[in-house]
Structure 1
Amino acid sequence: MARFVVETVIAAPPATVFAASLDPALHVRSMARHGETMVEAPADGRFAEGSTVTWRARHFGIPFRLRSIVFDIDPPRAFSDRQLAGPFGAFLHEHVFEEHPVGTLMLDTITFRSPFGPIGRAVDALFMREYMRRLIMQRNATLVAEIEGDGRTLSA
């Protein structure tokens, strides 16, 4: 399994950052360059315990769908989401929000495995880990810009 952590500091309280992170529309905006859309959206427009969503996107010129579930919601400290069906052999995203002198330290821990055994492990080591890290940093830059209102990323 490949794993990495992205740390982002946002000048807002944890409750604000937590709530924004559960906004599927913000996620769509953050992945606009990849044409990501929601094929299946959460019932009330926000993620809640047990919410599922199906995303459609294009990466490496290849269209794909990924269905995920949100779980272990602990406001305003943490929540997780994992792939139910999609391109990965396994995919888990743990979101943690900690108080920080500037506002919030947001920790994104991604654990994933590409399919196809040894070939997938090689793909993960050679480029997928770094590609996924950049995607999370792009998402977080959008989150920072929308919350802080000026488009600056404080750390990644």
Structure 2
Amino acid sequence: MTDFEIVTHVMAAPEGVFDVSVDVDVHAASMARSSERAVGGVTSGALRLGDTVTWRARHFGVRWRLTSVISTYDRPDRFVDEQVSGPFERWHHVHRFRPDGHGGTVMSDVIEFTAPFGPVGDVAERLVLRRYMAGLIEARNQYVKKVAETTPTAG
């Protein structure tokens, strides 16, 4: 298993950052480089507790599908998405939103994942996947930051 955390400061209130983060359309736009799009479950708009979404994307030249469920939803503090089916043995993503005390938000993403294929997957996690996945989350967060900072605060 591999885990990592990405922390991003956003100059917008936690409610607004949370709302941008649970929006399927924003996620798809943030992942345009990998042609990621929702193809099943909730395919547009905001996700809620118990919602599933199936994503189709291309990474490392390979097309894949991942279905996740929103297993925790505590607006505006946090939500969790977990893989139901897809390329990982395990995918668990905690999104947290804390006020920074100055009108902004400290957004943190804690990711835990396990690649398939046992020892070969372990090597892939260490050599490639951890850095690649962290880069995807960082790019996504920069997009969320841009949208949240230019969108009127949701409440």
Whole-Å Cα distance in 2 between the matches of residues 51 and 34 of structure 1? 23
Deviation at 1:43, TM superposition (A): 7.4
Whole-Å Cα distance in 1 between the matches of residues 144 and 41 of structure 2? 19
2:67 touches 2:86 (CA, 8 Å); kept in 1? yes
User: SS where residue 49 of structure 1 aligns?
Assistant: coil
What residue in structure 2 maps to residue 146 of structure 1? 147
What residue in structure 1 maps to residue 100 of structure 2? 100
Deviation at 1:148, TM superposition (A): 1.8
User: SS where residue 26 of structure 1 aligns?
Assistant: helix
Whole-Å Cα distance in 1 between the matches of residues 60 and 129 of structure 2? 11
Q: Where do residues 115-130 of structure 1 align in structure 2 (5 Å cutoff)? A: 115-130=116-131
User: Structure 2-normalised TM-score?
Assistant: 0.93
- How large is the Cα RMSD of the aligned pairs? 1.5
Deviation at 1:101, TM superposition (A): 3.6
User: CA separation of 1:65/1:43 partners in 2, compared to 1, >3 Å: closer, same or farther?
Assistant: closer
Amino acid at match of 1:133: A
What residue in structure 1 maps to residue 76 of structure 2? 76
User: SS where residue 115 of structure 1 aligns?
Assistant: coil
What residue in structure 2 maps to residue 55 of structure 1? 55
Deviation at 1:62, TM superposition (A): 0.2
Unpaired runs of 5+ residues, structure 2, are 151-155
User: SS where residue 65 of structure 1 aligns?
Assistant: strand
User: SS where residue 12 of structure 1 aligns?
Assistant: coil
Amino acid at match of 1:121: D
Unpaired runs of 5+ residues, structure 1, are 150-156
Whole-Å Cα distance in 2 between the matches of residues 19 and 41 of structure 1? 19
User: SS where residue 48 of structure 1 aligns?
Assistant: coil
Aligned structure 1 segments of 4 or more residues deviating by more than 6 angstroms: none
Deviation at 1:71, TM superposition (A): 1.8
Whole-Å Cα distance in 2 between the matches of residues 29 and 44 of structure 1? 11
Number of matched pairs: 150
User: Structure 1-normalised TM-score?
Assistant: 0.92
Whole-Å Cα distance in 1 between the matches of residues 24 and 44 of structure 2? 11
